[in-house]
């Protein structure tokens, strides 16, 4: 077996190296929401299923995010799995300073007062059970209390720094 040139000269760990490696990792796209004085939300590619019993999920959120102050205090959050036709919605919730809950966004107040987005593949409302420090982020762990998986369709995926769709 011959060694590949990349293994002969690994790069020192850095934020750039981590970003470069994770550009190779395809991830599902979700929007996380919470109710505050005004609703907040952000696009997340770090959503994970943690446990089935009890039903737990996790996601990461930057402490410099405009949504963090509300997420830091929220008892409940919304998790929305986006479909391949929702690139603009993902971009809106990823863009700093965007009017995320303006007239162009289909949403309503759902269980526990959490903002629930319309037209998504699936959504959950979850009770926050932990916020774990992780560098400049927090890992939020939350237990599902309500939801709807019935949106149907194909998921939106984030890969190589852009929103894309699965191919057959």
The structural domains of the chain, ordered by start, are 29-158 (2.30.110.10)
Mean of all residue pLDDT scores within the chain: 93
What is the mean predicted confidence (pLDDT) over 31-38?
97
Q: Where do the DSSP E strands lie in 25-159?
A: 27-28, 30-34, 40-44, 48-51, 56-62, 76-81, 107-109, 115-117, 122-134, 137-148, 156-159
User: What pLDDT digit, counting tens, does each position of 110-164 carry?
Assistant: 999 999 999 999 999 999 999 999 999 999 999 999 999 988 899 999 999 999 9
* Amino acid 24: pLDDT: 86
- Bridge partners for 144 per DSSP: 126
CB 115, CB 32: distance < 8 Å: no
* Amino acid 105: pLDDT: 97
């Amino acid at each position: 077996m011959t060694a590949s040139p990349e293994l002969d000269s690994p790069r020192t760990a850095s934020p750039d190296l981590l970003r470069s490696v994770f550009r190779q990792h395809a991830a599902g796209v979700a929007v996380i929401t919470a109710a505050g004085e005004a609703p907040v939300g952000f696009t997340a590619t770090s959503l994970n299923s943690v446990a089935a019993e009890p039903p737990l999920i996790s996601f990461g959120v930057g402490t410099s995010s405009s949504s963090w102050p509300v997420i830091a205090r929220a008892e409940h959050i919304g998790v929305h799995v986006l479909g391949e036709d929702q690139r603009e919605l993902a971009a809106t919730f990823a863009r700093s300073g965007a009017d995320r809950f303006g007239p162009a966004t289909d949403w309503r107040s759902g269980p526990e007062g959490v903002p629930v987005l319309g037209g998504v593949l699936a959504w959950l409302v979850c009770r926050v059970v932990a916020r774990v420090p992780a560098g400049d982020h927090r890992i939020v762990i939350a237990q599902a209390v309500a939801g709807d998986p019935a949106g149907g369709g194909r998921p939106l995926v984030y890969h190589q720094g852009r929103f894309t769709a699965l191919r057959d």
